[in-house]
Amino acid sequence: MCIKRLLSLITKYVILLLITIFLYNIWYHNTRGVIMIRINLSTILGAKRITQAELARKTGIRPATINEMYHELSERINLDHLDRICEYLNCDIADLLEYKPNKERVTGKNLIVESHGNRKEHN
């Protein structure tokens, strides 16, 4: 009977943890905003039949960093990493990164002021 109760308790905690992670991801992506620089790493790796793990091994880039780029979660990209990835995949940087214009402008009169206050709104 104790084992069943323990398993039930563990199950409840796992479900609570998954819900927390899900809600955090929703919050994170909503506060991060829409960035219109697309990273096409997943498309290129799929076309060349290369795994994230293989790319990490061959380039010396941490697997977590490759994973963030693969899922377009990176906020900053190291230029050395771009160089290594383009060299290994034999592709151009324009193949890897793509600019899509924002639906709403975020510069000029519409400058977004960051919460840390480093950017100032232009009048």
25-78 pLDDT tens trace = 766 655 555 668 899 999 999 999 999 999 999 999 999 999 999 998 888 899
* pTM for the model: 0.61
Query: Which residue carries 């084992």 as its tokens?
Result: 3
Q: Which residue has the higher pLDDT, 122 or 64?
A: 64
Contacts of 46 (CB under 8 A, 6+ apart): none
- How confident is the model at residue 106, as a pLDDT? 65
Distance of CA 102 to the CA centre of its chain: 18
Q: Read off the pLDDT of each residue in 16-32 and give the average, rounded to a whole number.
A: 71
3-state secondary structure of 38: strand
pLDDT at 68: 93
User: What confidence score (pLDDT) does residue 62 get?
Assistant: 96
* SS3 at position 37: strand
Percent of the chain with pLDDT over 90: 45
Pick the residue with more confidence: 96 or 22? 96
Do the bridges between strand 37-39 and strand 97-99 make them parallel or antiparallel, or are there none, so unpaired? antiparallel
